[in-house]
Structure 1
Amino acid sequence: MSHNANHESDNRVATAAPETIADGVDEDAVEANRRLFTGWPLWTFAGLAIAYSLFHLISLNIYPLETWTYRIIHIAGALVLGYGLYAGASFADNEHDASPGWLKWASLALLLPAGYALAQVFFMSQTLGGGAMRIDPSIETLHFGYPLMATSAAGIVLSWFYRRARNHFNPADLVLMVCALASAAYLILVFNTNIRMSTGTSFAPPGISWAAIAGSLLILELTRRVAGLALVVISAIFLGYVFVGPYLPGFLGYPGLSLQRFFSQVYTDTGILGPTTAVSSTYIILFIIFAAFLQASKVGDYFVNFAFAAAGRARGGPAKVSIFASGLMGMINGTSAGNVVSTGSLTIPLMKKVGYPARSAGAIEAAASTGGQIMPPIMGAGAFIMAEITGIPYTEIAVAAIIPAILYFLSVYCMVDFEAARKGMRGMHKDEIPQFRRLVKQVYLFAPIIILIAALFMGYSVIRAGTLATASAAVVSWFSPNKMGPLAILRALQLAGTMAIQIIAVCACAGIIVGVISLTGVGARFSSLLLGVAGFSQLLALMFAMCISILLGMGMPTTAAYAVAASVVAPGLINIGIDPLVAHFFVFYFAVVSAITPPVALASYAAAGISGDNAMGTSVASFKIGLAAFIVPFMFYYSPAMLMEGSALQILRVGVTATFGIVLLAGMVQAWFFGPVKSWQRLAMLVGAMFMIYGGIYSDIAGLALGIALFVMQRRRYTGGGAVATG
């Protein structure tokens, strides 16, 4: 009887174990200001998003366009889609809160001058096609420049006050869409001819300046809508510097640029069409399409379920799941905050359930999600920009990132594990998590990522490898419950077009800043300042570079933060004798961790929104958990072997000792090793960690000796004689 009862109990547990625990991780998160259309507007914008994604796939793989034309269409398409889908003001809850009717008619009236400016572009194009060398400047100014500028500025202002229900379209945004088309049409049909050679000179036509000013305004406004004010404010400060700079004292002063000369150059490959847009229009858009195909085949759900099955039963299980899942999701998610929202909505409540305070739960998810941005092979989008700026092959950058990423995630894991041990937390029960043996049967869902990595290391271009991986995601889905038919593929293309808007706007906006830096020479002057600081101490110069990188990244998406820091800080580090790969990785890491650095920490704020805790408290806690990311970049400098630069023996030694150092560091922060750690032991752990992190042979030996002594001492005290500390 007893045997049968036990057998029945086991059966109940087995049947109670859920098939999956994660569901909806792949759902597209709808931002607070995103419109949700029905009827013909829904089909119109869905069609535009699909066409936008297909345009990139065809241009990248089958029918390449001239580079400038391609990049201008890339930005213009994002502007048209962005103004269609994202409102400039909050939505009205009811008709009483809606804007007065005259705003609608005022907006519609602006369509006339906006349409007139667009029509003038085609007239000017016909004139040039008829053999004219250039257009009369007064015609460009009066019939194109003034109407375009007036309608762009007025449309933006009116859109701030137009409030309707979420499914309503704003006529002012239609005006901005026409202005975006007019600006792009001028740049392609009129300027991208023999006139293009006059850029930056007094012979440049005034139309390019008008198109660039209007285009820059439209990019800044869309960036405000999709990424917040931080990047817009920083861009405005840099734009202000162009005209205020000549009056500033010291190293900030420069000879000055006229309005026309600056704007005739900023919408070229010196600025907006430069490296940031080069990357967003090739690698980033392709990997967004890849991520959309993975989402459509529910791979994100599988990643999170796999993480629960693998790590859910360990002490503090959901926190360890968060680390595992965020590392996997980071490969298909372009932002730290986006990663928090997709996985944190599931892991944060479960962490609270097993005993983590709300603050710790949010902080762990923010730190883990931020780590997703430094996880090879995709590393958010930063690796692609790094490859574009430095000329170092992408595969080398992905390989160089392996040890630092392992150290970061190991640090977060140890922080979580030691906190769970200190607080006596349990893991999840067997009947609360999916069965591992069931999920292993679907391990083929990892195939697209394996194909991507294999194709890259077989020597395929990033574009070809990304396209192969995207196609394989659709093929692999046929072996899963979420088969991708023609409708699902169209849905994935629509999702990709929508997902791309934020990152393209951010990259274009960062291009404005990059343009200011290159045209005013402020980056070179900052480099000379850094060189002067390095004359006293290179460590001091690195600390200074760290602070500037974090400051530039606060409140900004990772991609823009790195692009700006790479233009301002990295050249200075290279000038003081640091290897370009080390310099760019140094800057990249601090741009990434700005997402968990108080006072403006986007990933921590997103996590606090889910956990219900104080945003500032969560950002301080996530800073503590992600502490390794603030130390690892200094390891690059002292031990380039950390980035696979050196012999196999050097790389192995540095990797092993840094691993021990990171474990000691986590123990010091959490005041726990095998049991509680006394104050003097914490100090010894810090010294040992710093010795091993430094990476010299003698410091490694000293650090290991300290670590072994502490290990033996703790082991004897807390595991000797069968006594185990539970905290």
Structure 2
Amino acid sequence: MSDDNRSQGVAAQNDDTKDEISLIERQTAEASVDQEPKVDNERLFFGARHWAIAIMCVAFSAFHLLVLNVWPLETWTFRLSHVGGGLLLGYLIFSARSLADGAEAPASPVSKLFLALGGAGVVYGAALVFVVWVHDATSGSPIPPAWAMDTLGIPLAAGTALLVVNSWLFPDQRRNAIPLGDALLGVATIAAVAYLIKFAPQLQLRAGMPMALPADMWAAVTGVILILELTRRVAGLALVIIAGVFVAYSFLGPWLPGILEHRGYDPKRFFSYIFTDNGVLSAPIAISSTYIILFVIFAAFLQATRVGEYFVNIAFAAAGHRRGGPAKVAIFASGLMGMINGTSAGNVVATGSLTIPLMKKVGYRPQTSAAVEAAASSGGQIMPPIMGAGAFIMAEITGISYMEIVWAAIIPAIVYFASVFFMVDFAAKKYGMVGLPKDQLPKLGALLRQIYLFTPIVVLIFSLFSGYSVIRSGTLAMATAAVVSWLTPHRMGPRQLFFALELGARMVLQLIAVCATAGIIVGVIALTGIGSRFSSVLLGLADQSQLLALFFAMCVSIVLGMGMPTTAAYAVAASVIAPGIINLGVEPLIAHFFIFYFAVMSAITPPVALAAYAGSALAGSDPIKTSVESFKIGLAAFIVPYMFFYSDALLMQGEWYEILRVGVTATLGVFLLSGAVQGWFFGQAIWPVRIALIVAALSLISGGWQTDMFGIVLAGLTTAYQAKFGSKEPVPMRA
């Protein structure tokens, strides 16, 4: 169990030991005891260390809420503080390797040497940064001592690199201890970020120019090393390797062939450029430091007040007794929570711990249970109004208004979740599944008397559509969650508030690291111009065919998403691919939605499907089989982008009757497609029937009047045939 999840569980247990636990939770607790996922980067602190880190997390969350709502801060300083605070907490919380259970092993002589040399370099560099700050505060001179500026950089960067290498080779795996090397990496973070904040105005003027100082470069080098190492700890090597390739490309350009060739950049220009709002501090961190952290804290408030638990319970009460009830509950609950928290795999772990065991209980195979949860959790990121922060990132990149993006996302999201629902329902009919007994479910009547617990979501949506800023709307929703909790036994007091702010900071650390790493990639693309050249190649390969260009864009988006969280994947793919698609004549809104959908759905695309893998860990299923099944369940999401390419009415563009027609026929199309995929359509569907359903579905999906009529006629004939000849006997489920 990760530190975030473990801390969350411990705190919830302490807070609610004497509280009444719902029946559904009691059943799930036993079902999931032996299915606890093992996640790397685990550390669990106790006593003073725990409280010290908890207080730092609370301060980090509170700082962002104050700056966003009360105390505005200069943009560069705020973003650098966001990155620096995230790095500092990350190194204190996440270990270099998964924890060992054995006793503490003595440090090797080589490790001691690395720690001594690395620590000396970091401490020396940090001390000189302190000298620079003190000099400015006491002398009033804008020019710091030359000797300090000339000598702080190399020891700081070299010491940081040595400490990182030491953490790889000689990881300290003790529990309830912060390794000295990680503490020193925290010091390096403070030193590098303090230097960059101090000289932010000058850096904006001299970034990437010959006038950049050597100390500028070395502070940026230190920052890049720290970002990549934390990303490795919290998100794995894939994104680090991708970023490393891009960084290497900046220096190897003169020796590369064809369109990859460029004149190359010296380190001073590259690193001083990369740590500006063209790189690390660009759109991904701009969104991470505002919208993402705000809504992650909002999700933590829902969790701390147990308002989020109400969403799951009311779904169980409404649908838990129906065919495949727990799977249908997963669609609703995971979609709702996934919309808010913005991470597919994280949402699978959060809601899947409840829904997956119950799906298995009513007869779903482990891999199917995990696949449904993965498909629903991933779909949450395409569900307005929050879209897992996707709407905000798209607005930032494209300049299209947030409200226009939200409106455009409504029908595709409905079509996708309707498709997942149809898949689940057909599977339940095919295999003769039943729901949970009503006496084992929460009582709907009692829950409806607490319908006011939906108020935070209602306030959020109402305020967004009333013209309030996203920041103000999110803050109002957060405050509403705290207020409505006062009407429940789980009233939010100082202790719960502390826990919510702590949990919010812990939950956002991974996103900070990956957004900063994505910023490095975006900076390389901007500096080298590879994005425009790639667009030219895309145009050439597509031979002026928009459809072929979109196919290439789909492949690139999915491949990028396999190696990084979807937020970062979209930001990078939009920088590389979107200009080329738009140059082919595709509308910017359509182009960016197309890329965003496939970046999101990479989380359930084999062979590297992060959301499916998270679900398989909970279900105890085979990861590859789970990813294949999640791909099948979420198949509509791979078709919907082509639907709104052929008919932009699906994105609320055009007359109301055209929007209505396209929405209805698209929903009917995915209904037929679901029947074909599951092999059940008013009875068992033999292969000729399944082929007919696929043809009818694709005809309805394409969006034209003629194809719609053909699809409706074929669907009617197929339905009539199945009603008369289709076997209604359930099919035995394969292991």
Do Structure 1 and Structure 2 share a fold, with TM-score over 0.5? Answer: yes
Q: Aligned partner of 2:24: which letter?
A: I
Q: Secondary structure at the match of 1:554?
A: helix
1:69 maps to: 77
Q: Aligned partner of 2:593: which letter?
A: F
Q: Secondary structure at the match of 1:193?
A: helix
Distance 2:468 2:397 in 1: 20
1:186 maps to: 195
Distance 2:569 2:189 in 1: 25
2:538 maps to: 530
Q: Aligned partner of 1:617: which letter?
A: K
Greater CA deviation, 457-466 or 438-447?
A: 438-447
Counterpart pick for 1:262 among 245, 264, 270? 270
1:346 maps to: 354
1:492 maps to: 500
Distance 2:23 2:448 in 1: 13
Distance 1:355 1:454 in 2: 40
Counterpart pick for 1:588 among 593, 596, 615? 596
1:86 maps to: 94
Does the CA contact (< 8 Å) of 1:524 and 1:572 recur in 2?
yes
Q: Aligned partner of 1:410: which letter?
A: A
Report the alpha carbon displacement of residue 323 of structure 1 after superposing the two structures with TM: 1.1
Counterpart pick for 2:468 among 460, 473, 495? 460
Q: Aligned partner of 2:184: which letter?
A: V
Does the CA contact (< 8 Å) of 1:151 and 1:175 recur in 2?
no
Does the CA contact (< 8 Å) of 2:456 and 2:477 recur in 1?
yes
Distance 1:557 1:309 in 2: 33
Report the alpha carbon displacement of residue 31 of structure 1 after superposing the two structures with TM: 4.8
Q: Aligned partner of 1:266: which letter?
A: I
Residue identity over aligned pairs, in percent, reads 56
Aligned pairs for 1:125-140 (under 5 A) are 125=133, 130=139, 134=143, 139-140=148-149
Distance 1:47 1:104 in 2: 31
Does the CA contact (< 8 Å) of 2:204 and 2:276 recur in 1?
no
1:357 maps to: 365
Counterpart pick for 2:155 among 147, 152, 167? 147
Does the CA contact (< 8 Å) of 1:22 and 1:304 recur in 2?
no
Aligned pairs for 1:270-281 (under 5 A) are 270-281=278-289
1:411 maps to: 419
Report the alpha carbon displacement of residue 140 of structure 1 after superposing the two structures with TM: 2.8
Aligned pairs for 1:482-561 (under 5 A) are 482-561=490-569
Does the CA contact (< 8 Å) of 2:118 and 2:160 recur in 1?
no
1:170 maps to: 179
Cα deviation, 1:157-178, whole Å, max 9, x if unaligned, reads 1222232322111000111011
Q: Aligned partner of 1:523: which letter?
A: G
Does the CA contact (< 8 Å) of 1:414 and 1:663 recur in 2?
yes
Distance 2:71 2:37 in 1: 33
2:217 maps to: 209
Greater CA deviation, 275-284 or 523-532?
A: 523-532
Q: Secondary structure at the match of 2:24?
A: coil
Cα deviation, 1:330-365, whole Å, max 9, x if unaligned, reads 133221111111122222222222222222222111
Report the alpha carbon displacement of residue 537 of structure 1 after superposing the two structures with TM: 2.1
Distance 1:108 1:465 in 2: 49
Does the CA contact (< 8 Å) of 1:118 and 1:185 recur in 2?
no
Closer, same or farther in 2 for the Cα pair 1:75/1:19, shift >3 Å? closer
Q: Secondary structure at the match of 2:503?
A: helix
Does the CA contact (< 8 Å) of 1:288 and 1:496 recur in 2?
yes
Distance 2:259 2:274 in 1: 23
Q: Aligned partner of 1:74: which letter?
A: H
Does the CA contact (< 8 Å) of 2:307 and 2:481 recur in 1?
no
Cα deviation, 1:271-317, whole Å, max 9, x if unaligned, reads 00111111011111111111111111112221211111111111122
2:65 maps to: 57
Q: Secondary structure at the match of 1:270?
A: coil
Aligned pairs for 1:5-44 (under 5 A) are 19-22=22-25, 31-44=39-52
Q: Secondary structure at the match of 2:666?
A: helix
Does the CA contact (< 8 Å) of 2:321 and 2:436 recur in 1?
yes
Greater CA deviation, 258-267 or 343-352?
A: 343-352
1:302 maps to: 310
Closer, same or farther in 2 for the Cα pair 1:69/1:359, shift >3 Å? same
Counterpart pick for 2:656 among 635, 648, 652? 648
Q: Secondary structure at the match of 1:271?
A: coil
Does the CA contact (< 8 Å) of 1:98 and 1:165 recur in 2?
no
2:10 maps to: none
Q: TM-score, normalised by structure 1?
A: 0.93
Counterpart pick for 2:327 among 295, 319, 323? 319
Distance 1:371 1:546 in 2: 17
Does the CA contact (< 8 Å) of 1:364 and 1:625 recur in 2?
yes
Does the CA contact (< 8 Å) of 2:77 and 2:197 recur in 1?
yes
Distance 1:98 1:708 in 2: 74
Aligned pairs for 1:528-677 (under 5 A) are 528-677=536-685
Q: Aligned partner of 2:639: which letter?
A: I
1:8 maps to: none
Report the alpha carbon displacement of residue 472 of structure 1 after superposing the two structures with TM: 0.8
Distance 2:106 2:510 in 1: 27
2:17 maps to: none
Q: Which ranges of structure 1 fall in alignment gaps of 5 or more residues?
A: 1-16
2:4 maps to: none
Distance 1:331 1:488 in 2: 23
Report the alpha carbon displacement of residue 111 of structure 1 after superposing the two structures with TM: 3.5
Closer, same or farther in 2 for the Cα pair 1:104/1:663, shift >3 Å? same
Cα deviation, 1:243-275, whole Å, max 9, x if unaligned, reads 122222112222221111111100000000111
Greater CA deviation, 100-109 or 637-646?
A: 100-109
Q: Which ranges of structure 2 fall in alignment gaps of 5 or more residues?
A: 1-19, 30-35
Distance 2:459 2:695 in 1: 43
Closer, same or farther in 2 for the Cα pair 1:105/1:29, shift >3 Å? farther
Cα deviation, 1:95-151, whole Å, max 9, x if unaligned, reads 16565587468536644432221221233345567465656777534x211111111
Does the CA contact (< 8 Å) of 2:132 and 2:148 recur in 1?
no
Distance 1:29 1:92 in 2: 16
Closer, same or farther in 2 for the Cα pair 1:97/1:689, shift >3 Å? farther
CA RMSD of aligned residues (A): 2.2
Distance 1:218 1:614 in 2: 34
Distance 1:98 1:331 in 2: 46
Q: Aligned partner of 2:183: which letter?
A: L
Cα deviation, 1:59-87, whole Å, max 9, x if unaligned, reads 11111111001100110000111101111
Greater CA deviation, 320-329 or 686-695?
A: 320-329
Distance 2:145 2:441 in 1: 72
Distance 1:378 1:278 in 2: 16
Greater CA deviation, 156-165 or 431-440?
A: 156-165
Q: Aligned partner of 1:471: which letter?
A: A
Q: Secondary structure at the match of 2:87?
A: helix
2:15 maps to: none
Q: Aligned partner of 2:262: which letter?
A: Y
Distance 1:362 1:94 in 2: 32
2:6 maps to: none
Q: Aligned partner of 2:506: which letter?
A: T
Cα deviation, 1:184-206, whole Å, max 9, x if unaligned, reads 111111x2234531212111111
Report the alpha carbon displacement of residue 20 of structure 1 after superposing the two structures with TM: 4.0
